[in-house]
Amino acid sequence: MPFQEIRQRFPLLLIIFTFLARFLSISGQHTPRYACDIDQNPSLKEFAFCNTSLDAKTRVGDLVKRMTLKEKVGSIVSVTDKIDRLGIPSYGWWSEALHGVSDTGSATWFNKSIVPGATSYPQVILTAASFNESLFYTIAKVVSNEARAMYNSGVAGLTFWSPNVNIFRDPRWGRGQETPGEDPVLTSRYGVAYVKGLQESEDGDKDRLKVGACCKHYTAYDLDNWTSVDRFHFNAIVTNQDLEDTYNPPFKSCVVEANASSIMCSFNKLNGKPTCGDKELLGDTVRGQWKLNGYISSDCDSLEVMFKDQRWEKTPEQVAADALNAGLDLNCGDSLKNFTENAVKKGLVNESVVDRAVTNNFVTLMRLGFFDGNPSKQIYGKLGKKDVCTQANQELAREAARQGLVLLKNSLGSLPLVSSYIKSLAVIGPNANATEAMIGNYAGVPCKYTSPLKGLSDSVKTLYELGCTDVKCASTEMFERAKNAAATADAVVLVMGTDLSIEREGFDRAEIDLPGQQNLLVSEVAYAARGPVILAIMSGGGMDVTLAKCNPKITSILWVGLPGQEGGGALADVVFGRYNPGGRLPMTWYPRSYAESVSMSNMNMRANASTGYPGRTYRFYRGEAVYPFGYGLSYSLYVHRLLKAPKHLSIPLNNTQTCSSSTCKSFNATGNVCNALSFDVDIMVTNIGQMSGSHTVMLFSYPPQVIYNSPHKQLLDFKKVRLGPWDRASVSFKIDVCKQMSVVDEDGNRRVALGQHILQIGDLKHSISLRI
């Protein structure tokens, strides 16, 4: 039937149809938000900012010129004001995708009839334990697909405030689970891979973003709520040395190497100044030195925290002006919307500064295609609900958990269990049937859960006992039942540890033992058991598991982190030998005394002999560890043999330069001499076990102690190789001397020490002498 005829015969139907179409697109439930909808409003064609053949800079310049001050201040907050006359809808900046698309941010939500859930990958600390950069990248890429699919469905934004690249410097930190651990090199590598995976445009155009990533929380955050200190009042006292060699490197890498579209400043003060109002940190460093290509956002709402909690300035207008003048572009919250107009009128901040902020924000949205009209006609337009929670995406969640799981103890090769001998398995503990506990902080709604009990029950007959009602394990009431199960079964898997009631955002641990009576349950069950006893620790932070480590009845210990929605399947794969574990701890596991004697608010990385402060992380802490950074066993054994590494390295420095060969002990790691100053280390790795497996080769160095307070050991590089039984492979490292072998001096300058550097790979040690 021709259209004319329909219009004549069913006028009402047409009205209803038109109304419905309009309603659905305007209410935004099923369609994404976007600007420059030329199909609906052809007059928008007149605006140069809607012209996709112009570059983003020109377009945003045109847009900002057209905006009033009121419209501008409504565009620098996390829920922006719509500007109807310019065809710009309200945009929600705050989405999260730390380990899967999450509904923690207000711009993303799940809805049974639209997108009910998204794939929930292991919490970052466990993924980091895989030391597999291509895994980090692959997860982020899949997450960005699900994110775009959700944006297209009208239930997510395009800007995701992930990853968290703060250093996990204290085991009690409730958000340590969100980070890639305690090492600045690993954390930087994780951040770079994750940001690239989220952002990289599939058409290879470097100016375009698939989704926007954000590295947070800049900087020296690392404490949420510990005894009487909370993050809103915490003043982190940090030396230049620690800032430059520990807290800042991951942020620098995010910007310089990964081109992250955003950095978020933190709640805390750094050396007396709120980070979001610190021009040296934002304008000078992130924007100036690192050349951020994107926007700097506040935390939610750190400006209000500056005014109300930190009493930073007398008026909220002055706080708004300070933040904008420092280099802030976007405010999570509404402080900037409320107070910027007056701040401009009072002369506290110039309108040109507001223009800079609007420009940085809108350029980012332009690179995301937000100003290019209907996204269904664009590169990701085909992604939708069907691309979320696919079988492959969920399988990757299981794979990631398997790759991260760390085997900490395995006496007499009790693992893997041989299914033909193990006819029944007691699965015991408050996390044995864990679901939500597996996904941790900043999770969304997962597609489904495979709990440990479910995963193990798929392989063998199980007897399930809680042991304690919850992870706090206050009572021993249910111990008898658990012991009986252990005594009956051929083997026992205990799944203990924490959940968000013990460690989470806003809540740090007071102690690092297994909570409540968990240790007692573990030892009583182990005593009653007649077969092998496998202790699985589910946690974000490290635990003092000395009792279990020393108990001969406990034959194996596994750290499963917070393993994501498929965590139980991954655990079963490892327990039954379908997967050979190869994860390594991304953080030191300290003894309980550490938490008893060290103040969490002490930000110093370096030890201090005069106060008895032991220092932090494997780079500075020389005390006993329950399990050290980088620790992790396999069902195979790997041996390393050195193929090639220099014994000496001559640094082509002139006498005319500040360093003369007789008195000089170190040289500036940013000078010309650094160009092409590198060497190769080649090693042969052989799997001498009977199972194929993936092995992480970590290259550490012990620098000569020439520069005051140098780390005693540091990770230079790592690579992962997959090897069949009796397979071998050569692994090559190219070491950039200035970038990788340098240390930071007390003034915060990077220098390379001359003298003997010891390289270490596994049991292998090699000395290399640097001289002029």
Ligand X SMILES: *[C@@H]1O[C@H](CO)[C@@H](O)[C@H](O)[C@H]1NC(C)=O
Known catalytic residues are 299
For ligand X, the closer CB: 6 or 26: 26
**Crossing angle between the packed helical segments 351-367 and 56-66, to the nearest 10 degrees:** 130
Site for ligand X contains 671 (CB under 6 A): yes
Query: Going residue by residue from 283 to 322, which x/- string records binding to ligand X, judged by CB under 6 A?
Result: ----------x-------x--x------------------
For ligand X, the closer CB: 399 or 626: 399
Smallest gap, in angstroms, from Cβ of residue 375 to ligand X?
Answer: 18
- Region near ligand X per CB under 6 A, out of 35-43, 469-477, 486-494, 669-677: 669-677
3-state class (DSSP) for residue 752: strand
- Region near ligand X per CB under 6 A, out of 410-418, 614-622, 649-657, 724-732: 649-657
Q: Which of 343, 350, 295 is nearest to 80 (CA)?
A: 295
Site for ligand X contains 611 (CB under 6 A): yes
Smallest gap, in angstroms, from Cβ of residue 8 to ligand X?
Answer: 33
The residue from 95, 259, 318, 634 that contacts ligand X (CB under 6 A) is 259
CA distances from 211 to 34, 150, 201, 310, 598 (A): 14, 11, 8, 34, 41
Site for ligand X contains 135 (CB under 6 A): yes
Q: Residue 209 forms beta bridges with which residues?
A: 200
- Based on its alpha-carbon atoms, the radius of gyration of the chain, rounded to whole angstroms, reads 28
* Interaction residues for ligand X, span 515-534 (CB under 6 A): none
CA distances from 280 to 245, 325, 729 (A): 17, 11, 47
For ligand X, the closer CB: 695 or 757: 695
Tokens of 382: 């085909």
Site for ligand X contains 610 (CB under 6 A): yes
CA separation for the pair 541, 604 (Å, rounded)? 19
Alpha helices in 478-541 (DSSP H): 479-488, 518-528
Cβ–Cβ < 8 Å for 669, 687: no
The residue from 39, 55, 202, 207 that contacts ligand X (CB under 6 A) is 207
Site for ligand X contains 54 (CB under 6 A): yes
* Interaction residues for ligand X, span 57-86 (CB under 6 A): none
User: Which residues have CB under 8 Å from 480's CB, separation 6+?
Assistant: none
DSSP string, 334-357: SHHHHHHHHHHHTTSS-HHHHHHH
- Region near ligand X per CB under 6 A, out of 32-40, 210-218, 478-486, 667-675: 667-675
Site for ligand X contains 368 (CB under 6 A): no
Site for ligand X contains 648 (CB under 6 A): no
Residue sitting closest to ligand X (CB) = 694
The residue from 53, 391, 662, 663 that contacts ligand X (CB under 6 A) is 53
Smallest gap, in angstroms, from Cβ of residue 754 to ligand X?
Answer: 15
Site for ligand X contains 720 (CB under 6 A): yes
Cβ–Cβ < 8 Å for 223, 232: no
Give the sheet arrangement for strand 666-668, strand by strand.
666-668, 750-753, 743-744
The residue from 469, 501, 654, 767 that contacts ligand X (CB under 6 A) is 654
Query: Going residue by residue from 484 to 513, which x/- string records binding to ligand X, judged by CB under 6 A?
Result: ----------------------x-------
The residue from 335, 394, 588, 617 that contacts ligand X (CB under 6 A) is 335
Site for ligand X contains 687 (CB under 6 A): no
Site for ligand X contains 230 (CB under 6 A): yes
For ligand X, the closer CB: 53 or 663: 53
User: Which residues have CB under 8 Å from 348's CB, separation 6+?
Assistant: 317, 318, 320, 321
DSSP string, 630-655: T--B-SS-EEEEEEE--SEEE----T
The residue from 188, 668, 687, 701 that contacts ligand X (CB under 6 A) is 668
Cβ–Cβ < 8 Å for 530, 508: no
Q: Residue 215 forms beta bridges with which residues?
A: 263
- Region near ligand X per CB under 6 A, out of 98-106, 421-429, 665-673, 680-688: 665-673
Site for ligand X contains 227 (CB under 6 A): no
The residue from 38, 86, 114, 487 that contacts ligand X (CB under 6 A) is 114
For ligand X, the closer CB: 152 or 433: 433
Q: Which of 591, 581, 559, 556 is nearest to 409 (CA)?
A: 556
Terminal C-alpha separation, the chain: 88
Site for ligand X contains 51 (CB under 6 A): yes
Tokens of 520: 């007692």
The residue from 8, 40, 134, 411 that contacts ligand X (CB under 6 A) is 134
CA–centroid distance for 26 within its chain: 35
Site for ligand X contains 399 (CB under 6 A): yes
Site for ligand X contains 435 (CB under 6 A): yes
Site for ligand X contains 725 (CB under 6 A): no
Site for ligand X contains 225 (CB under 6 A): yes
Burial 345-366 (b: 16+ CB within 10 A, else e): eeebbeeebbbbbbbbbbbbbb
DSSP string, 187-214: HHHHHHHHHHHHHB-TT--TT-BSSB--
Enumerate binding residues for ligand X (CB under 6 A). Answer: 29, 45, 51, 53-54, 111, 113-114, 132, 134-135, 138, 206-207, 225, 230, 232, 259, 293, 301, 304, 333-335, 338, 347-350, 399, 433, 435, 451, 464, 506, 608, 610-611, 652, 654, 656, 668, 670-673, 694, 720-722, 749
